[in-house]
Structure 1
Amino acid sequence: MSKVKKKSTSTGTIALNKRAKYDYFVDQKFEAGLVLSGWEVKSLREGKAQLVDAFVIIHQNEAWLVGARITPLLSASTHVVCEPMRQRKLLLNRKELERIIQVTEQKGKTCAAMALYWKGNKIKCEVALVTGKKEHDKRDTERDRDWSRDKERLMKHNA
């Protein structure tokens, strides 16, 4: 008898947008599917993605991921012309899409890509409705983060 080998799928986070957490207040999060081509999936399996300046736009009642960079593998995409910065369609429910459209029309609100991750054998994108931070808000965030780090050090030192 031959053993049946299970095909292991990658699990976990592919890419995070840490800059968005620093620049914005996160109001509400959504999980969206992505329309990808084959070379993009292979590159994401290797973790070659960046979401630093990624955001979501709405065009003709469809959500599109703009600014996400998926670097092509040298071996996987020899016969295909790869465009690392192309716009990728996001797959959302009608209610989620209407909510994003409604909120992004308000002043100071936008929709940003927060993370790319595996869910089973599918790639998902976490998008969030966000509000921009002012400079003093960013300084407060840094101050709170530094204080929590110092507090942890003190607790370890005293224990």
Structure 2
Amino acid sequence: MSIVQNKKAFHDYFIEEKHEAGAVLEGWEVKAIRAGRAQLKEAYVIIRNGELFLIGCHVSPLLAASTHIQPDPVRTRKLLLHAEEIKRLIGKVERAGYTLVPLDIHYKKGRIKLEIGLAKGKKQHDKRESEKQKEWERDKQRLMRPK
């Protein structure tokens, strides 16, 4: 079940592969994400020292959050994947001109997971073409619908 989706990623990029990653979160972040107070619109994934990090993901703290900590809504969060997956992603990102974008946050067996996509940027004419394709699919469904 998806909690938060990054619809802008599908508009701006061609998604070639999808990978599921765990995230290192603090307690208040888990509570806020479960309440749906996360945003992936401006987020991206970077590689530092052979590890993946999520940057720019905004998690708004709940009002009932603990008073003895200072929540940082846009802190850098480490992503957890198997070492061979990380190596393969690093190779593709460095060699082939791909980038890593977060696609959605969801539950899996009670844990919060992040789906990241290996993506290639779209040009403006590609965006227009995919918009026309979506519009045609909608029109086709409308025409096929019984009256």
Q: How would you bin the TM-score normalised by the shorter chain?
A: over 0.9
Aligned position for 2:15: 26
Is 2:68 aligned against 1:79?
A: yes
- Residue in 1 that maps onto 2:57: 68
Partner Cα separation in structure 2 for residue 101 and residue 92 of structure 1: 12
Structure 1 spans left out of the alignment, 5+ residues: 1-11
Q: Summarize deviations over 1:56-114 as a string: whole Å, max 9, x none.
A: 11111111001111110011232210101000000010111001110111353100000
- Give TM-score, length-normalised by structure 2: 0.96
Q: Which residue of 2 aligns with 1:128?
A: 117
Counterpart among 102, 109, 115 of residue 91 in structure 2: 102
Larger of the two Rg values belongs to structure: 1
Q: Which residue identity is paired with 1:98?
A: K
Q: Give matches, 1:1-159, under 5 Å.
A: 12-106=1-95, 108-156=97-145, 158-159=146-147
Q: Which amino acid aligns with 1:93?
A: H
- Structure 1 ranges of 4+ moved more than 6 A: none
RMSD value over aligned CA atoms? 1.1
Give ranges in structure 2 of 5+ residues lacking alignment: none
Deviations 1:116-144 (A, max 9, x none): 00001111000111000001100011000
Could you tell me how far apart the structure 2 residues matched to 1:132 and 1:108 are? 9
Aligned residues: 147
